[in-house]
């Protein structure tokens, strides 16, 4: 089996959907700018530095989902897609995804950003499979908690293993695997696949990729 995996934020997107979602809610007046903007920026810097506490961040990111009806969240997300996401989807990213879908047996986006934010983005890109951090739900509404293992760093490997098992297969049946990512936080999974690819990488990942002979590409 040939498996192709894509990170989403700052890889297929020329920006970070997690960060942009919080900024969008601030701009809409849903979240208080004074309280949330500085924390959103701080968490983003921690992510880029590889020092993010994922559980602390998810408490910040998922709590607002629990304060509003799912129907209202969906309305906001539609506008978020139009105003924040579509402008940062590069044509090269769409082409790369399309080529992977045509040539690989299984293609998935694998992202730390929660599935409420990212599922519509995956659909927009034509990717049927999404492995993401899952927000806990009760009767269709969000509780503000995370369900299961966050899809972050080593958690991406655990979630990928579960994804493959759900489809009646396993890692040892994957003959060729390719993972595209921009982030040092994805080094655990990049080191596992047979063909790691650094995409517009951060300085740490770029240095690691160059020293290990990994391809470095740009979709910008």
DSSP 3-state percent helix, strand, coil across the chain (nearest 5)? 55, 20, 25
Is 7 labeled as catalytic in the residue annotation? yes
Residue 120 region, left (φ>0) first, then alpha (ψ -120 to 50), else beta? alpha
Q: Which strands make up the sheet holding 176-181, listed edge to edge?
A: 141-147, 129-138, 106-114, 2-6, 176-181, 195-199, 216-217
User: Of residues 9, 182, 200, 202, which has the active-site annotation?
Assistant: 9
Q: 186 CB contacts (<8 Å, ≥6 apart)? A: 7, 153, 156, 179, 205
Name the strand (E) or helix (H) holding 46.
helix 33-49
Question: Which residues are catalytic, by number?
Answer: 7, 9
């Amino acid at each position: 089996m040939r498996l192709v995996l894509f990170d989403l934020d700052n890889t297929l997107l020329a920006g970070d959907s997690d960060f942009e979602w919080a900024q969008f809610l601030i701009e809409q007046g849903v979240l208080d700018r004074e309280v949330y903007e500085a924390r959103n920026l701080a968490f983003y810097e921690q992510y880029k530095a590889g020092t993010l506490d994922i559980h602390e961040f998810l408490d910040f990111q998922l709590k607002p989902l629990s304060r509003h009806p799912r129907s209202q969240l969906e309305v906001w997300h539609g506008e978020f897609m139009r105003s924040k996401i579509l402008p940062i989807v590069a044509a090269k990213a769409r082409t790369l995804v399309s080529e992977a879908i045509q040539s690989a047996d299984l293609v998935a986006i694998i992202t730390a950003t929660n599935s409420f934010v990212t599922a519509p983005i995956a659909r927009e890109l034509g990717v049927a499979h999404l492995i993401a951090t899952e927000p806990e739900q009760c009767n269709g509404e969000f509780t503000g908690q995370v369900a299961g293992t966050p899809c972050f760093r080593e958690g991406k490997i655990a979630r990928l293993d579960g994804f493959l098992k759900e489809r009646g297969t396993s890692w040892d049946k994957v003959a060729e695997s390719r993972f595209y990512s921009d982030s040092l936080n994805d080094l655990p999974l990049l080191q596992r696949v047979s063909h790691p690819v650094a995409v517009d990488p951060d300085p740490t990942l770029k240095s690691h990729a160059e020293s290990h002979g990994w391809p470095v590409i740009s979709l910008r």
